[in-house]
Structure 1
Amino acid sequence: MAAIGLLAGCAQSTDRRLEQGVVEEIAEQPFYARPDPIPAGDPGEVVRTQDLESAPAGTVAQRVMYHSTDVHGSPLLTSAVVIAPTAPWTGGGPRPVVAWGHPTTGMAPRCAPSTGVDPFDLIEGMTDLLNAGYAVAAADYPGMGVAGPDSYLVGVTEGNAVLDAVRAAGHLDGSGVTAASDVLLWGHSQGGHAVLFAAQQAAGYAPELRLVAAAAAAPATELGTLLDDDIGDVSGVSLGSYAFQTYQSVYGATTPGLALTQVLTDDGAAATAQMAQLCLIGQNEQLHALAGPLVGRYLRADPATTQPWADILRENTPGGVPITVPLFVAQGLADVLVHPAATTQFVQQQCGRGTRVVFKQVPGIGHAEIAMDVVPDVLAFFAAARAGTPPPSTC
């Protein structure tokens, strides 16, 4: 009887969240509209918020629009979700905050994880993080949610948005986050790419933040290798379209001679802009209908060896500078999207630069499962790093 009562309570809680999520989805579009004129503000300064009644029981959550900066140093507006427990933090000092970097969902505004009925669905490990007392700041990345410059695998733009989501959380009532909060970075796939850049940039871009540690699951690292590994199937063409369209739009005006047809076939270049408007989740069938016929006939030349594309890929590959906080990296050995050899190469590079790395390789685990599989390891790693006793480096 107790079990039946508990299940009934869970069902009622889930129904409440879905009902509230439907209401919020209907009303969310005005939230993402950029104000005109755009108010001035420093990076991380909040423009508007929206309370999310669909937050899980025992938490408070908000959508937030905030200021950030792109790779060219230009100001922009972007969005995130911030969620925190309502129970007081009892660990001493202000509540720590985890900046979450989400895996690829697309690059168009409607592909943002903060939109839709359940804006918390893609925060891997969220329940465990909240149960541990952390607040979570989950950036959408620029160009998603709020219209703006594209940012897919543009490391500086993504990393700035992740750090500025933490700054924004510090402006929100109820988050418990302050300028003195410990900051922890956690991301998967594209999100691993974003948090690695955030870790590299934090000291220069957001020196007031108390960055303690970073964790990445199957991160996108060596972009030339990643493209070469994946371009032979429909997923590689789909994800490649996001990257090529982004780099053309972000660097085209400042990079003489940059053109899609340098590296893509005529058919590939013609389809790329159309593919880039489709979300990986919810529009996968339409996306693959465009990408499928291009398998084997998408590339004209290798971007990793064709200028100026090679320099752009190199600029957006993380690891060019050492990461000065303890770093946890997880890799599934059955991953066929981010190949284990590429992640191992990145880890070895960081070891050579003096970064303190804990590298966990998990047999039998693929790309989609790796982040959830290592959540207990990430929580233990974060706790040890905050206590000043991070695990020994596996370098």
Structure 2
Amino acid sequence: MVVALAAVLVPPAAAATARPWAGTLLDRDAVAVSPAVAAAGGQAYRLTYLSTSSRGAPRVVTGTLVVPPGPPPPGGFPVASWGHGTTGAADACAPSASPALGGYDTLVASLVDAGYAVVATDYEGLGTPGPHAYLVAESAGRGMIDAVRAGRQAQRGLSTTWVALGHSQGSQAVAATAEISGTYGRGLRLAGAVAFAAPINLAGTIAQRLRDVEGDFGAQALYPLILSGLRTEHPQLRYSDYLGPRAAEVLPLVETACLADIYGWFAARDLPASEFQPVTQQAMTRLEDWLAGQGIPRQRTAAPFTILIGDQDEIVGVDEASAVVAGMCHLGSAASLRVYPGLDHNAVVPAATGDAMTWLADRLAGRPVTTDC
């Protein structure tokens, strides 16, 4: 199934209000599934569809649709939109390119087994032309919403009722999804949103994170990805303002390699913290301003929101997650936090999947939600 791209593009100036292209399905191709998804009976398709960048322009995005076996229930299969964690910024890092779906196939299989049709966006620029808008929350949130629209065009029997889940980078995406779904997601009903590990308040923590970056090769690998993502919104960003000459040598790798290779590049060089410091206080202030609001909701969310986090999370601490929930409660959102002892950033996903399923089932059933507000 192919829709001519030229027929749906309109000038970017109209995108802020009309967005007639949002979720338009361009192509659907059957793809192989992993053993875990096969065991759940899911049929998988790679979708190509249109979404909207944070600057209001149309963007071609790819993703995956996995449909449960058998006939849909009355009203259709509820849809679960999945936001993956960081894989990298190169097109080769797109989860839809692999049956393992970026390492999240077991979770996707659990959703399919529970009766959800799953859509899993690759996000803007990951697997498609143009740079990946890494950690640009509104772009990712729009990609998750439009994946639901595209999935419903690709397969009959999918409900307009849906839920959102995400991990790590996907937590930023889910937070934005919950925030904008009442407006950008009109025509669909978001029942609930789950973040495995919390959205990260980079604007409030970037200075300290950069001071502590020496020897932290994970943080070093993420930093140029963050800069490259911000540059999709702020093309005036100069890498030389934020990376020393030795650290800047990684930039070509950011465009061609995935996260593990970037991590290995920094681990082999063991660069000092000075290679990651903005050149002036003005540059730091600009960076903090650009990061403000990326993943931290600034208005009431359209559906209940819960964070599931391990108390050994090495990227986002429990205190930071608690602050996110408190801020959401202040805005009137129905927000909650569950902490898992002894679990780190990645281990929380398999450990908390069952609790996430139960929480989402309650939201679909219309049961009262318990919050921390």
Q: TM-score, normalised by structure 1?
A: 0.82
What per-residue deviation string (whole Å, max 9, x for no partner) do you get for residues 52-95 of structure 1? 243615221100100011011011101000001112233x4221
Judge conservation of contact 1:304–1:313 (CA < 8 Å) in 2.
no
Aligned residues: 354
CA shift in 2, pair 1:305/1:385, >3 Å? farther
CA distance in 1, matches of 2:125, 2:200: 21
- Residues 303, 154 of structure 1: CA spacing in aligned structure 2 closer, same or farther, 3 A cutoff? farther
Structure 1 294/79 Cα, relative in aligned 2: closer, same or farther at 3 Å? farther
When residues 301 and 355 of structure 1 are mapped into structure 2, their CA distance, relative to the original with a 3 A threshold, is farther
1:356 positional shift: 1.1
How do 1:171-210 residues align onto structure 2 when only pairs under 5 Å count? 171-173=153-155, 176-178=157-159, 181-210=160-189
Report matched runs for 1:286-365 at 5 Å: 286-289=264-267, 292-295=270-273, 297-300=275-278, 306-365=284-343
The answer (yes or no) to whether the contact 1:62–1:81 under 8 Å persists in 2 is: yes
What secondary structure is seen at the aligned counterpart in 1 of 2:270? helix
1:288/1:261 CA distance change after superposition, 3 Å: closer
Identify the residue that residue 60 of structure 2 maps to in structure 1. Answer: 77
Paired residue secondary structure (2:100): coil
Distance 1:243 1:226, change over 3 A: same
C-alpha separation between the residues in 1 aligned to 2:105 and 2:270?
Answer: 29
The whole-number CA distance in structure 2 between the counterparts of 1:121 and 1:369 is 12
Over aligned residues, Cα RMSD in angstroms? 2.6
SS of residue paired to 1:364: coil
State whether structure 2 residue 345 is matched by structure 1 residue 367: yes
- Amino acid paired to 2:183: G
Alignment equivalent of 1:40, drawn from 1, 5, 8? 8
Which residue is 1:127 aligned to? 109
Matches within 5 A, 1:141-152: 141-152=123-134
Rounded Cα–Cα distance in structure 2 between residues aligned with 1:341 and 1:219: 10
Equivalent residues of 1:100, 1:137 under 8 A apart: yes
Partner residue of 1:160 out of 133, 139, 142: 142
Structure 1 residues 394 and 303, CA gap change in structure 2 (3 angstroms):
farther
Q: Could you say what secondary structure the match of 1:192 adopts?
A: helix
Alignment of 1:221-300 (within 5 A): 221-227=200-206, 228-229=208-209, 231-232=213-214, 233-253=216-236, 258-281=237-260, 283=261, 286-289=264-267, 292-295=270-273, 297-300=275-278
Residues 1:65 and 2:33 aligned together? no
For 1:252, give the aligned amino acid: P
Distance 2:176 2:323 in 1: 17
Distance change (3 Å), C-alpha of 1:315 and 1:121: closer
SS at match of 1:365: coil
Point out the more displaced range, 315-324 or 106-115: 315-324
Percent identity between the two aligned chains:
26
Aligned partners of 1:289, 1:35: CA distance in 2, in Å? 45
TM (norm. structure 2) is 0.87
Question: 1:386 aligns to what?
Answer: 364
SS in 2 for 1:266: coil
Residue in 1 that maps onto 2:15: none
Q: Give the stretch that moved more between structures: 145-154 or 262-271.
A: 262-271
Given that 1:195 and 1:216 are in contact with CA atoms closer than 8 Å, whether structure 2 keeps it comes out as: yes
State the distance in 1 between where 2:32 and 2:257 align: 28
Q: 1:386 to 1:290 in 2, by over 3 A?
A: same
